[in-house]
């Protein structure tokens, strides 16, 4: 299984795009997730079908931030965080307040 990532998909029926969070590899069998074979519900035309095309994907390390082995530039992180906030407002932003600083807050007395 690979980390989940943001995936922008285009509906085969109406051409609208939408975002989902999914993994490129969902299991341990080494079989890739073939997005075009999955059935998704379109938010534009409200049809559920297969055939959605991938428009773009976030870096696989985005939802792992902050991560010492897979760091992201501040610019890249902010771009993907904006997309996440716009499309999944209830999703916690990766890294939260620790993203800006790796220092732990002072202990309370």
Tens-digit pLDDT profile for residues 79-95 = 999 999 999 999 987 76
Residues of the chain with CATH 2.20.25: 1-57
Q: Please say if the pLDDT value at position 42 is more than 90.
A: yes
Residue 103's pLDDT band (cuts 50, 70, 90): very low
In the CATH scheme, what architecture does the domain 1-57 have? Single Sheet (2.20)
Q: With contact defined as beta carbons under 8 Å apart, do 43 and 14 qualify?
A: no
Q: What is the pLDDT of residues 12-37, one digit of tens each?
A: 999 999 999 999 998 888 889 999 99
Q: What is the DSSP letter of 52?
A: P
The pTM of this model reads 0.81
Q: Please say if the pLDDT value at position 52 is more than 80.
A: yes
Q: How far is CA 87 from CA 33, 50, 70, in A?
A: 22, 21, 24
SS3 label, residue 79: helix
Q: Please say if the pLDDT value at position 109 is more than 70.
A: no
C-alpha span between 49 and 35 (Å, rounded): 11
More confident residue, 5 or 98: 5
């Amino acid at each position: 299984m690979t980390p989940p990532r943001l995936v922008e998909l285009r509906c085969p029926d109406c051409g609208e795009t939408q975002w989902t969070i999914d993994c490129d590899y969902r299991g341990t069998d080494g079989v890739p997730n073939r997005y075009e074979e999955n059935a998704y519900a379109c938010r534009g035309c409200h049809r559920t079908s297969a055939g959605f095309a991938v428009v773009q994907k976030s870096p696989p390390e985005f939802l792992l931030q902050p991560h010492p082995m897979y760091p992201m530039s501040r610019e890249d992180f902010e771009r993907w965080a904006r997309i996440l906030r716009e499309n999944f407002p209830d999703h916690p932003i990766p890294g939260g307040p620790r993203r800006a600083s790796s220092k732990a807050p002072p202990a309370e007395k």
